[in-house]
Amino acid sequence: MRPFLQSPVAASDVSAESDIDQRTQSDRRKTPTSPWSALPPAGRRIRARRASEHRLSYFVDRFSPRVFVIVMLFVLASVADALLTIRLLEAGGEEVNPLMARLLDRGVLTFFIGKYLLTVIGLPVLLIFGNVLLFGTRFRVKYLLVVFLALYLVLIGYHLCLTLA
C-alpha cells in the first residue's frame, strides 16, 4: 500500500476551505425532528441496504408498490367477504362469528363498517413491523399479509360455492 502524499499547496487549500462553510442548507441536526417526517415523502428507506442487514429485523420509511397492491387486495377481499356474507344471510345463511353476528344484530351498515374497521386497523401494525423476523426464523411479519390474503381468497371461494349451490 502506498502512503498518501500531500503537497504543501494542497494542505493550505484544505485549511482555507475549512474556514469557509460552503453548505447552502442549514444543519438539519440543529432543529428537532418533526412528527410529520415519518410520513411517506420524507423517508427514503424502502429496504435494507446491505445483505448483512437483510438477515436481521429492520424498519423502513416507505413500502414497495408490491406491498401496496397486496394491502389493496386485502381490503378489497374484506369488502367482498362482507358483501357475500350479506348475500348468504339474505338467502337464509347464518353468521358463525359471534362478533360479526352481534354487529349484524345492529344492522347491515354497522356490520359492514365494523368488518371494514376490524380489517384495516391491524394493517398498519403488520406494515410497520413487516420486516421483523418472527420467532427467530427467516419468516417476516409481512409474509402474514400474503397468508391472510390467501385465506380471504379461499373464504371468498367458499362463499361463491355456497351462493351458486
Q: Is residue 69 part of a domain?
A: yes
Instruction: Find the domain containing 147 and state its range.
Output: 51-164
SS (H, E, C) 97-142: CHHHHHHHHCCHHHHHHHHHHHHHHHHHHHHHCCCCECCCCCCECC
Q: Is residue 126 part of a domain?
A: yes
The pLDDT score that the predictor gives to residue 72 is 94
Q: What is the pLDDT confidence band of residue 139, given thresholds at 50, 70 and 90?
A: confident
Q: Is residue 7 part of a domain?
A: no
Angle formed at CA 89 by CA 83 and CA 91, multiple of 5 degrees: 110
Q: Do the beta carbons of residue 115 and residue 82 sit within 8 Å?
A: yes
CB atoms within 10 A of CB 125: 10
Classify 133 as helix, strand or coil.
Answer: strand
The pLDDT score that the predictor gives to residue 13 is 52
Query: Distance between CA atoms of 20 and 25, rounded to whole angstroms?
Result: 14
Q: Is residue 108 part of a domain?
A: yes
What crossing angle do the helices spanning 108-128 and 65-90 adopt, rounded to 10°? 160
Q: What is the pLDDT confidence band of residue 61, given thresholds at 50, 70 and 90?
A: low
More confident residue, 28 or 56: 56
Q: What is the pLDDT confidence band of residue 51, given thresholds at 50, 70 and 90?
A: low
More confident residue, 129 or 154: 154
% helix, strand, coil for the chain, step of 5: 60, 0, 40
Q: How many domains does the chain have?
A: 1
Q: Is residue 149 part of a domain?
A: yes
Element (H, E) at 103: helix 98-105
Please state, rounded to an integer, the average pLDDT across all residues of the chain.
Answer: 79
Q: Is residue 25 part of a domain?
A: no
The pLDDT score that the predictor gives to residue 37 is 58
CB atoms within 10 A of CB 155: 16
Q: 25-34, 57-66, 76-85, 123-132: which has the highest mean pLDDT? A: 76-85
Average confidence (pLDDT) over 13-37: 61
Q: What is the CA radius of gyration of the chain?
A: 27
More confident residue, 98 or 48: 98
Can you read off the three cell numbers belonging to residue 79?
369488502
Q: Is residue 6 part of a domain?
A: no
Average confidence (pLDDT) over 107-122: 92
Q: Is residue 34 part of a domain?
A: no
Classify 142 as helix, strand or coil.
Answer: coil
